[in-house]
Structure 1
């Protein structure tokens, strides 16, 4: 289904709704306990003097209400150059299936092209079949070839101190 919606760059005033949607996604992904930042950090990191991410929002054409967000940031590949990484794409549950996710995904793709990125990248949980099918329906590749590494918390600090 094609949605009649508006995509726009988020403003600082959109952060509370964006944060609520991020938590909604985390709950769906069975990882709500892993959301370790609050609205204040999201606001500072995205709308401070050196923004760490970009945030797009989608609103239905018939009302001024944010129903979905796409949070992205640039990274670099030594093999391919610039990449736009899509950290989160979420549409609130009662608005799913109306095409808002596709509008957001297209807008992130357009941002990647505008920035001269060679590709865009994202992660999807291997059990999230609806999301996998969504991405595949847009001619994207979903691969299980690469594993993710992570170092955090005390282990990160210990390594940084040479321990």
Structure 2
């Protein structure tokens, strides 16, 4: 499936997948406070960027990964949320999306990527743990934090 940078036209799908992720993670309505309009404004303001994978047969957005720049005062630039719709899981789409992120991270000389995964999400954890350069760095009340080193970014 082709993966490309998201555009303003992708905002409805990006927002829908973010809400699908909240439902999958069993977050209640109090946890999700952003509106679609606010989401679109934040994208247009450059608060985050995204990559999308498109199903060529249906034209449907199959998955996305959101990236936002952060900064580590000892290591420099970092980036980090991936969603693959259920019907597209186990088709190596996650790997394609992470490849797009890794390429962007290389271009920006990012020191590492960091993201969170719920501890009960074993399929996702298995995927991340199978990737070279990825380590679990923190376990806090059911939320695991993973990091891909610069070396992992280069290898990916």
Q: In structure 1, what is the equivalent of residue 46 of structure 2?
A: 51
How big is the alpha-carbon RMSD for the aligned residues of Structure 1 and Structure 2? 1.7
Contact 1:23 1:32 in 2 (8 A): no
Give 3-state SS (helix, strand or coil) of 1:102's partner: helix
Give 3-state SS (helix, strand or coil) of 1:97's partner: coil
Among residues 109, 118, 122, which one is paired with 1:116 in the alignment?
Answer: 109
Q: 1:81 to 1:146 in 2, by over 3 A?
A: farther
Give 3-state SS (helix, strand or coil) of 1:111's partner: helix
Q: In structure 2, what is the equivalent of residue 11 of structure 1?
A: 7
Contact 1:75 1:84 in 2 (8 A): yes
Please identify which structure carries the higher strand content.
2
Extract structure 1 runs of 4+ deviating beyond 6 A: none
Q: In structure 2, what is the equivalent of residue 155 of structure 1?
A: none
Tell me which structure has the larger Cα radius of gyration.
1
Distance of 1:135 and 1:98 partners within structure 2:
15
Alignment length (residue pairs):
140
Give 3-state SS (helix, strand or coil) of 1:31's partner: coil
Contact 1:132 1:142 in 2 (8 A): no
Distance of 1:143 and 1:119 partners within structure 2:
12
Q: In structure 1, what is the equivalent of residue 97 of structure 2?
A: 104
Structure 2 unmatched ranges of 5 or more: 144-156
Among residues 64, 68, 83, which one is paired with 2:78 in the alignment?
Answer: 83
1:66 aligns with 2:56: no
